[in-house]
Structure 1
Amino acid sequence: MIKKVLLVSVVFLGLLGQGLAQIRSLTLDEMFQLADQNNNRIRLYDLAISEAEQGVKVACNDRLPSIQAHVELNYIGDGVMTDRNFAHAVHADMPHLGNSFVLKASQVIYAGGAVAKGIERSKLQKKEAELEYVETRQDIRFLLAGYYLDLFQLNNQKRVYESNISQTRLLVKDMKASYRQGTALKSDITRYELQLQSLELSLTSVKDKIDVLSHKLAIAVGLEPD
C-alpha cells in the first residue's frame, strides 16, 4: 500500500528575486487534492453533477403550481374625423391611458405519471454523473501514483547510470595511461569508450523519460509544466 510519506519534488524554475529555484515537496495526498481541484477531466464531471442537480430541481418544480402575470399599458390619442377632401375636421376627445393586469395560476393535476418519470430520470442522470465522477477521480489517482512510481524508478536508474559513467571515465583514463606505458591495448581503450558512450546514451534516454513524466504529472495536478 502506498503510504502518505511518499514524496515527489516539483521544481519551479523561475526568477524569485534572487534567481533561485523553488523546490516544493508534495505528498501523494496533496497531489490527489490538487488533481481534484485542477484536473480538467475531474472538473468536467464535477460540473456535470452540478448540472444534473439543477435538472432534478427543475423536474421537481413541475409538481408545484405555476403563476403567470401579464401587465399591459397603452395610450390612445384623440380622434379626428374629416370629409373626403380632408377638410372640416372634427375633433373628438377620447380616453388616453389604458391598462390591464392578468394573473394566471395553474397546477398539474394529472399527467399520466410524466412528472414522476421526469423526476426519476433526472435523479438517474445525477447518479450516473456521480458514478462517472468517482470512476474518473479514481483513474486519475491511479495515474498519478503510476507516474510517481515510474519517476522514482527512473531517478534510481539515473543515479546508477551517473555512477557507472563516472567509474567508466576513470577506467578510460587508466587505460589510456596503461596504453602509453605499453601495458594495455588500443582495443581495450576502444571497448571502454564504447561502453561509456552506451551509458551516456542510456542516461540521456532516462532523463528524457523523466522530463516527459514530469510534464504529464504537472498537467494532471494543474501545475505549470515549465
Structure 2
Amino acid sequence: MNNQRLLTGLLSAVLLGAGVCAFGQNPSVITLEELFESAERNSAQLRPSFSAEEDANQEIRVARSGRLPDINASLSFSYIGDGFTTKRNFSEYQKAPIPHYGNVLSLSVNQPVYTGGAITSGIQLAELKLTASRYATELQRDNVRFQLTGFYLDIYKYTNLRGVVENNITQARKVLDEMRARYEQGVALQNDITRYELLVSNLELQLVKINNTIDILNNNLVTIAGLPDGTVIVPDSAILDKSLPSQSESSWQSEASINSPMLKLAQSKVDISRKAEDLTKSERMPRIGLQAGWSIDGPILVEVPPINRNLSYWYIGVGVSYNLSSLFKTNKSLSRSRAATVHATDELAAARENTELAVRADYVRYLESYEELNTRQKSVELAERNYNTVFTRYSADMALITDMLDAANSKLDAEQQLVNARINIIYYYYKLLFTSGKI
C-alpha cells in the first residue's frame, strides 16, 4: 500500500506540474472591454472583413469612373505594297504603284450623356455593396466579441472551480489524516482510508483537468484578441458585481429590430437585389453620348492613282446606340433579378423571425439564471450543513465512510453548480446583447 501511495503521489505531482506550468508567467487582470479593443486592432479574424470593405470602396471608384469620357488615341506606321488592276474577268493585269509608307494618327472622345440609368444604378449598387460589407464587418465583430466573452467567462468559471476543488482537496486530506489516526487507534478500517484516498486522487485529477482547460481557454483568448504570446489573463472580479439593467422582453426585441447586424445585412441584400433589377432594366434603354474626333492619315488610297499626301479631318456630334437583342434577352435577365429579390426578401423575413425567437429564448434563460442562482445558493447551504453533520457523526462512529463520501461529493457538486450559476447570469446578459446587436 505504501508503494501504491507513493506512485500515486508522484503521478499527481507530475500532472499538476504540467497543468499549471503555463500559470507561472506574469498574470494580468484584463477587462472584457480591453479584450474587445485589442481584438478590434489586432484580431486576424477581423482583418478579412476590413479588407472586404476596402475592396468595396474601390468598386465604388470604378463605378463612378463610368461618368468620365472615353478617350482613345491611336498612332500607326505601315509599309504599303504596290497594287494592281484588272478587268472584272481578271484579264489585262496592270501594276498600280502606291506610296509605300503609310501613317495614321487619330483621337476620339465619347462623353456619355444618357445610359438609361446604367451608370447611376451601377454606382448605387456599389455603394449598397459597401454598406453590406460594413454590416458584415459589424456582424463578424459581434461574433468575435461574443466568442471572447464566452472564453473569458469560462476562465472565470474554471478559476473559481479550481478554488472549490482545491478547498475540497484540503478538507479531504484533513479527513484522511483523521482516518489514519483513527486507524492507528484501531477504530477505523484500512478500506475506509483507501476509498477516501481514491476520492482525493480523483479530486487531484480533476484539478489537473481544470488547469489544462484554463490554459487552453487562455491561449484562445490571447490568440483571438491579438495579445502578445505568453500573456496570462486574469478575469476582472468586478464583472460579477456589475449592475445589469433590467429590461422587458419587448424592449430587447425593439433593440434587436434596430441594431441587429444580421437583420441589417439581410435588408442590404434586399436593397442590392432591387438595385440589380434597375440595372437590368437599363439594358433596354438607348445610349446617347457626345462624340468628337480628329484624324490624319496618308497616303490617300481612295483615289486612283493614290495621292501621296496626308488627309486630316475632324468631327463633333451626338451618337445614339441601341442594343436590339435586349428586346428578347433582357426579359430573362429581369425575371432572374426579380426572383433574386423575392429570395432576399424571404431571407429577411426568416432572419427577423429567427432573431425574435433568439431574443425570446435568451431573455427566458436570463431570467431563469437568477432563479437558478437562488436555488444553488440554498443547495450549497444545505450541502455544507449536511457535510458538517455527517462529519460530526462519523467522528463519533455514528456514520459510515460511504456517508462521508456522499456528503463530500454532494458538497463539491453544489459548490460547482453555484459557480456556474453566477457566471450564467453574466453569460446570458451578454448573449442578449449579442442577439440584439449591442455587444
Could you say which TM-score interval applies, normalised by the shorter chain?
0.7 to 0.9
Distance 1:21 1:211 in 2: 12
Distance 2:190 2:25 in 1: 45
Instruction: Select the residue among 199, 211, 217 that pairs with 2:215.
Output: 211
Q: 1:193 to 1:61 in 2, by over 3 A?
A: same
Distance 1:28 1:101 in 2: 68
Amino acid at match of 1:171: V
Asked if 1:60 is matched to 2:64, the reply is yes
Instruction: Select the residue among 173, 179, 184 that pairs with 1:180.
Output: 184
Asked if 1:131 is matched to 2:135, the reply is yes
Q: 1:23 to 1:200 in 2, by over 3 A?
A: closer
Asked if 1:189 is matched to 2:193, the reply is yes
Counterpart position of 1:164: 168
Gaps of 5+ in 1: 1-12, 14-19, 77-97
- Show CA shifts across 1:18-49 (max 9, x none): xx944333221211111112222311111111
Counterpart position of 2:38: 34
Gaps of 5+ in 2: 1-21, 80-101, 231-439
Contact 2:45-2:224 at 8 Å conserved across structures: no
Amino acid at match of 2:137: Y
Amino acid at match of 1:196: V
Q: 1:63 to 1:179 in 2, by over 3 A?
A: same
Distance 1:137 1:49 in 2: 13
Secondary structure (helix, strand or coil) at the match of 1:107 reads: strand
- Show CA shifts across 1:3-22 (max 9, x none): xxxxxxxxxx7xxxxxx944
- Show CA shifts across 1:122-174 (max 9, x none): 11211111111111111111111121111111100001111111221222222
Secondary structure (helix, strand or coil) at the match of 2:45 reads: helix
Secondary structure (helix, strand or coil) at the match of 1:106 reads: strand
Asked if 1:48 is matched to 2:52, the reply is yes
Contact 1:67-1:103 at 8 Å conserved across structures: yes
Distance 1:41 1:155 in 2: 27
- Point out the structure with the larger helix share: 2
- TM-score normalised according to structure 2 size: 0.39
Amino acid at match of 1:185: L
Distance 1:198 1:167 in 2: 14
Distance 2:45 2:105 in 1: 50
Contact 2:52-2:133 at 8 Å conserved across structures: yes
Contact 2:74-2:105 at 8 Å conserved across structures: yes
Q: 1:177 to 1:99 in 2, by over 3 A?
A: farther
Asked if 1:114 is matched to 2:118, the reply is yes
Asked if 1:153 is matched to 2:157, the reply is yes
Between the aligned residues of both structures, percent identity stands at 36
Distance 2:222 2:108 in 1: 57
- The Cα of 1:114 is off from its aligned counterpart by 1.6
Q: 1:104 to 1:34 in 2, by over 3 A?
A: farther
Distance 1:71 1:172 in 2: 100
Which 10-residue stretch deviates more, 107-116 or 154-163? 107-116
Distance 2:39 2:184 in 1: 60
Distance 2:39 2:169 in 1: 38
Contact 1:161-1:203 at 8 Å conserved across structures: yes
Distance 2:72 2:25 in 1: 63
Amino acid at match of 1:176: R
Contact 1:37-1:43 at 8 Å conserved across structures: no
Distance 1:58 1:182 in 2: 92
Contact 2:60-2:127 at 8 Å conserved across structures: yes
Secondary structure (helix, strand or coil) at the match of 2:113 reads: coil
Contact 1:36-1:43 at 8 Å conserved across structures: no
Q: 1:25 to 1:71 in 2, by over 3 A?
A: farther
Counterpart position of 1:143: 147
Distance 2:170 2:215 in 1: 23
Amino acid at match of 1:44: P
Distance 1:160 1:205 in 2: 14
Counterpart position of 1:16: none
